[in-house]
Amino acid sequence: MFKLNVMQRIVNTGAMAIVRTNTVERGIEIAEGCLNGGVDIIEISYTFPNAGEVIKALNDKFGDRLVVGAGTVLDSETARLAILHGAKFIIAPNFSREVTKICNRYQIPYAPGCTTVTEVIEALEGGASFIKAFPISNFYGPELVTILKTPLPEVPILVSGGITLDNLSDWVKRGVECCGIGGLLTKGSAVEIAENASKICKIINQNKKTKIGAK
């Protein structure tokens, strides 16, 4: 899947399930719930050593219906392993120039975590596709998007942490490109996950047209 297509899928959906699981079976159950509710973007975190196995299994089962990426990728070695297992994007809590080189070499979108404007600019100059506002999204809330996009209006932002059904609309109205969501899209049965995914997609679709500051 070409890099630009992956980026467009991420922006179009606007929501990403942040998945931490130590079994392929649970990963498939979560993916089925997300897909049934309209969320087709999933990040598999490398906080578990079998993340590559889960990524491969999801790709084998769902194909292009699902865009599966790798999260918590701290170094270039892990990035390359994730790509070999079929990761379509790479996300990290930190910025690494070595990871950027690997991702750009293989045309994989990279979203490094940044906490300051200086880090954001360095990551963009280094070739990042998105900027992951982490962990500061937990502390600033939706206003963070406005804070970053005022001096950097074109910066593509992925937020992770502190997102709920109650504040999701505010994140979207302020212009965030994608919201990474954990509990709502990973806990409970596939049916419960699908219900939450459907609610999330409805909120995103209703508010994309009413972004704050939009003309």
pLDDT tens by residue, 23-75 = 999 999 999 999 999 999 999 999 999 999 999 999 999 999 999 999 999 99
Closest Cα to residue 6, out of 42, 58, 55?
Answer: 42
104 within domain boundaries: yes
187 within domain boundaries: yes
53 within domain boundaries: yes
2: region left, alpha or beta (phi > 0 left; psi from -120 to 50 alpha): beta
- pLDDT of res. 196: 97
166 within domain boundaries: yes
Average pLDDT, the chain: 93
215 within domain boundaries: no
125 within domain boundaries: yes
Using 50, 70 and 90 to split pLDDT, how confident is the model at 215? very low
- Give me the helix-helix angle, 117-126 and 97-105, nearest 10°: 30
SS3 helix, strand, coil % of the chain, rounded to 5? 50, 15, 35
Q: Decide which of 211 and 131 is more confident.
A: 131
Alpha-carbon torsion (101, 104, 110, 113), positive or negative: positive
Distance from C-alpha of 137 to C-alpha of 80, rounded to nearest angstrom: 28
Beta carbons of 94 and 126 less than 8 angstroms apart: no
- CATH code of residue 35: 3.20.20.70
Using 50, 70 and 90 to split pLDDT, how confident is the model at 137? confident
- Please check the confidence at residue 185 and state whether its pLDDT lies above 60: yes
- pLDDT of res. 139: 74
Q: How many separate domains does the chain show?
A: 1
160 within domain boundaries: yes
| Domain boundaries, position 13 | 3-210
